[in-house]
Copies of this chain bind each other. A is one copy, B any other.
Amino acid sequence: MITLDALNTATPEHFTATLSGVFEHAPWVAAAIAPARPFATVTALHEAMFATVLAAPPDQVTTFLRGHPELAGSAALSGTLTRESTAEQASLNLDRGAEDIAALNTAYAARFGFPFITCVRRHTRASLLSEFRRRVTLDPATEHATALQEIFYITRLRLAVLVEGPGMPAVNGSLTTHVLDTSIGRPGKGILVELREAGIPTLLASGRTNADGRTVAPLLHGAPLRIGQYELLFHVGAYFAGQATERPAFLDIVPVHFGISEPETHYHVPLLVSPGAYSTYRGS
């Protein structure tokens, strides 16, 4: 990473070169704002860059949009994506169902004249495809604005890992849980908690609650959350079975299904549980 201070005092050439990968194939964005330095915050730097795009002539914006790679497209398959795009696309297994994506790419390009652009780090595979199907039906003006909003998210994330300094943009979300044993009014200790994307067996995280009823670390953190549907599994049957009192065999593994729609925020999904009842909610 480079510090904001260093960027503020670099030569225009070095400044532009350093930031050239933030906006895809568009070093002119960084070049345009070099004279506006110094920037007080990393957020202000990003906002200045994005405002440059919004203020650019329509032809230049169109060229810029067209400079983005297709999702799981030929550039991805042939390995000619930018380094940033490669890392971003890698996580979603987009090669599975590549035919559907190819068909969507074709339809999208035919309709809008540029490739489908989205901030893949804010999506699960399911929500990305759902979003792709939805956006391909939008009217061109709405979709143009949507594409630019996605570029805002993409570039904000890229900048946040490239530059450090005051006023960092808020790009991370987190997910925590907490188990309370309401039959004794105490935290539920030693309960296995598992997280997975709904319908996908792979665990995203798991942990055992400590004496305060919490997992040692958040279940998700340090990045944007991915929009999608999730399932928490609380293994309370084993917990209650370990207690002295005999309990009715009513609850075993309690599943909680919930949706994440705001990637940059904190989700707290606790469980208040006794042998005969439970509650859950979106907390804070």
Contacts and interface: CB of A to CB of B under 8 A. Distances in A.
A185 interface: yes
Interface in A175-196: 178, 180-187
Interface in A247-267: 247-255, 257-259, 261
Given A182-B274, A255-B255, A276-B182, A261 B282 contact: no
Contacts of A252: 229, 257, 259
A200 interface: no
Nearest to A213: B284
> What is the size category of the interface that chain A forms with chain B?
35 or more
Given A259-B250, A280-B278, A281-B276, A183 B180 contact: no
Given A248-B282, A284-B212, A181 B276 contact: yes
A277 B276 contact: no
Interface string A36-60: 0000000000000000000000000
A44 to B, nearest CB: 24
A136 interface: no
A279 interface: yes
Interface string A151-183: 000000000000000000000000000101111
A129 interface: no
Nearest to A255: B255
B185 A183 contact: no
A203 to B, nearest CB: 18
A129 to B, nearest CB: 17
A80 B72 CA distance: 61
A242 interface: no
A224 interface: no
A275 interface: yes
A126 B172 CA distance: 43
A275 B258 CA distance: 11
A104 interface: no
Q: Which of A229, A254, A274 has the most CB of B within 10 A?
A: A274
B275 A281 contact: no
A201 interface: no
Given A183-B274, A250-B261, 11 more contacts: A181-B276, A182-B183, A185-B276, A185-B281, A186-B248, A251-B257, A252-B259, A253-B257, A274-B277, A277-B279, A278-B280
